[in-house]
């Protein structure tokens, strides 16, 4: 399976470290919405992602599996 990882556009350089700001994942966004009892918002976010996938020419198999999981378990 070809996995893609989030890419950072912002790096923070410290004297002994390099830190990166990454976008939150779809799973973490959905979990946060569900924890706050925002079921409609969670469903809407998953539906938006599904529509975006349907419009794209290249469908990421990992995204399809993830959305299937979220719809079944949502």
Residue of higher predicted confidence among 48 and 1: 48
Q: What is the pTM of this model?
A: 0.54
Q: Mind listing the pLDDT tens digit for each residue in 42-58?
A: 999 999 988 888 887 66
Q: What does the pLDDT average to over 2-26?
A: 82
The C-alpha R_g of the chain, in whole angstroms, comes to 15
Average pLDDT over residues 59-64: 77
Give me the pLDDT at residue 1, please. Answer: 47
Structural domain spans, the chain: 24-73
Query: Above 70 in pLDDT, residue 69?
Result: yes
Gap between the Cα atoms of 36 and 34, Å rounded: 5
Q: Is 70 exceeded by the pLDDT of residue 19? A: yes
């Amino acid at each position: 399976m070809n996995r893609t990882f989030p890419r950072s556009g912002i790096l923070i350089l410290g004297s002994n470290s390099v830190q990166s700001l990454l976008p939150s994942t779809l799973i973490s966004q959905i979990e946060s919405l569900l924890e706050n009892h925002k079921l409609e918002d969670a469903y809407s976010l998953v539906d938006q992602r599904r529509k975006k996938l349907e419009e794209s020419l290249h469908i990421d198999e990992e995204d399809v599996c993830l959305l299937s999981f979220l719809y079944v378990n949502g």
